[in-house]
Amino acid sequence: MATARAGTDGRYRAILIGNSTYPADEHNLQTLKGPVKDIAALNRALVDQQTGMFADLDVTLLPETTSHRAIRALGRFFGAAHRDDVLLFYFSGHGKLDLTGRLHLCMQDTDSADLLATAVSSARINEFAEASLARDIVIVLDCCHAGAFRGGDLPDTVAGPGRYVLTSCRGTQLANDATADNGTSVFTQQLIDGLLIAAPDHDGDGYVGFTDLYTYVDRRMREIGKQIPQRRVDGDGDVRLARCRDAEPPAVPGRTHAPADRPAPVPALAPTSAPDRRRRILIAAALAAAGLIAAGLIAVVHPFRDDDRSPPGRVDHSASAPWRLRIEDHQIGQHVGCTVTLTDARSGSEIPLPGDVFGERTFQIFHTGSFRWTANSPNCRLVPLAGSGSATLPFALQLTGDSDVFAAPARVSVQVRDFNNNEKCLISLHDPADGSALDFRAAVPGADTVILDARGRARAYVADPRCGLLVSAAP
């Protein structure tokens, strides 16, 4: 019987991508009910206090994202891995085949007539997996034609030791979406049930391995009479993905059930008011007396100053959401732009930021914790700013990054006043609570005004357009 590797010498890390809406090609890619709910529900299963093998901060969720941001996030996710890490990549959304039978994962900016340029291809994912140092990589796809990922475009897709692929259907099948607005897809629900309570432990080691999980999901999907899941394993064993519910909770880095010989990590403090801030600082001081801060187990959030400029290179910073990061390009006479990497200091997860920043641009950050950032040049300056800012409609946005947050009407009108030599401008409206996209439209010369739906949100912001805009309330 195959031996399951526990991955205890490394970390369990996951990136979960879910796309429900496809505004760039809404006529060919219909809105789905399940994907965003799928990644939220799977996240809860992965970090479950009794069965989960993943720490909260080691799971990255990318809801309603673009192909550019997805590719950047995937590249960094796979590229930052160490040999003993266990990596899990999960996708829920539309999957499309091109004329050669190659699978493409569709994102918010995907145009089904130009998949290679606007979607994430199976070949690209394979390249990331092949370049990664991680010994164990698990890829789970819940989309139409998902089974095409394991063959067709490359004869040895995700080949090598410790590569595991689980797909929701065969390459010629369509996948079923959720049947309720607040529900998960049929396949993902079986996946979650298997991780949490139901998958049998065939080898009696106290863990749910990849083989255990596939066996359960396959049986349930056949009983339900839906699409038939597929698997591909290239390796010399199995990989553990969850703990059986009646077993001893595992010691996962970053979780509260730490080994007895050291204290459990303490969550970072995130003050929301002046009294809370004073009270939590006192708590932090008491913990320091016990040596916890010296051990690096807690980060104390400090207030921002507008002149709190940090030099380039590796910089540590603590912040509570919402906040903004201003990137200033002072590379006079050069044409490389500033590329900044922003990383959660505790989990190592990267928070995606656009690269090649010229001039001065500001980006909304909706994460709380301790962060590290690096810049590609000593002439790139980084300035953290407290809060999400405040804008009043109408206002102009001229190549300065994300807009400040504004009180959102039911519909927002955005007119492109400067295309900045672009053939079209992709404009998206976001929720400042978590950065998720509320609506997304493309403007082109001759049709330079788009109307975005705020979907009932009271506040919103426009995300980093590469064009000059006038933002106002739609009539």
Structural tokens at position 358: 């010229």
pLDDT at 284: 39
CA distances from 352 to 8, 72, 328, 333, 367 (A): 28, 7, 17, 27, 12
Contact by Cβ (8 Å): 356, 337: yes
Is the bond leading into 394 cis (omega within 30 degrees of zero)? yes
Six token digits for residue 456: 């009932």
197 DSSP 8-state letter:
I
What's the confidence (pLDDT) of residue 448?
92
pLDDT tens, position by position, 318-357: 888 899 999 988 876 656 788 888 888 777 777 777 767 8
Query: What's the rounded Cα separation, in Å, for the pair 217 and 227?
Result: 11
Q: What is the pLDDT of residues 126-176, one digit of tens each?
A: 889 888 999 899 999 999 888 888 543 333 444 445 789 999 887 776 777
Residues in the chain predicted with pLDDT less than 50, given as ranges, are: 1-2, 6-8, 151-160, 248-313
Query: Is the N-terminal amide bond of 161 cis, ω within 30° of 0?
Result: no
User: Residues with Cβ < 8 Å from 262, sequence gap 6 or more?
Assistant: none
DSSP assignment string, 118-139? HSEEHHHHHHHHHH---SEEEE
Residue 269 in 3-state DSSP?
A: coil
Cα–Cα distance between 268 and 321 in angstroms, integer? 12
The residue whose two tokens read 């003050």 is 271
Q: Which residues contact 335 (CB under 8 A, 6 or more apart)?
A: none
Q: Other CB atoms closer than 10 Å to residue 111's CB: what's the count?
A: 17
- Which tens digit of pLDDT belongs to each residue from 234-246? 766 788 999 887 6
Burial of 434 (0-12, 13-18, 19+ CB in 10 A): exposed
pLDDT of residue 414: 95
Task: Give the pairing type, strands 395-398 and 86-92.
Answer: unpaired
**What pTM value is reported for the model?**
0.55
Predicted local distance difference test score (pLDDT) of residue 236: 66
**What separation in angstroms does the CA of 336 have from each of 3, 69, 73, 339, 466?**
49, 19, 21, 9, 17
